[in-house]
Amino acid sequence: MLRRIGQTARLGWQCLGALPQLHLAEVCEHAYEVAGRSAFFIALTLGCTGAIMVVQAASQAAGVLGDVSPIGGIFLQLLVSDFGPLVTSLLLAARCGAGVAASI
């Protein structure tokens, strides 16, 4: 997992190096507007979505497996590694799109 984070950070650094000169204050301000103010919204949505997925998976697996105790850990791993980044990027894209549409 740390390797994946390092690769992502290196890619981001290379992308920033390829851009023309940026005004750091503006970049930080826009990053805060997009990500900082969306953190509560994203955490709440991911928490509710994760809880619903675990409850549904447990109810489906109860008839097949009988023991549903490992389902929470398995779904936590699935949410963090695969589903979390997908939903986070979709929510940020929707919020940015709504902001652009509102400014027009």
Please answer whether residues 96 and 38 qualify as being in contact, where contact means their C-beta atoms are separated by less than 8 angstroms. Answer: no
How high is the pLDDT of residue 57?
Answer: 77
Contacts of 7 (CB under 8 A, 6+ apart): none
How high is the pLDDT of residue 1?
Answer: 67
How high is the pLDDT of residue 64?
Answer: 77
List the chain pLDDT tens, one digit each, 104 residues.
Answer: 677 788 888 888 888 777 777 777 887 887 787 777 788 888 888 888 888 887 887 787 777 777 777 776 777 777 777 788 888 888 888 888 887 788 77
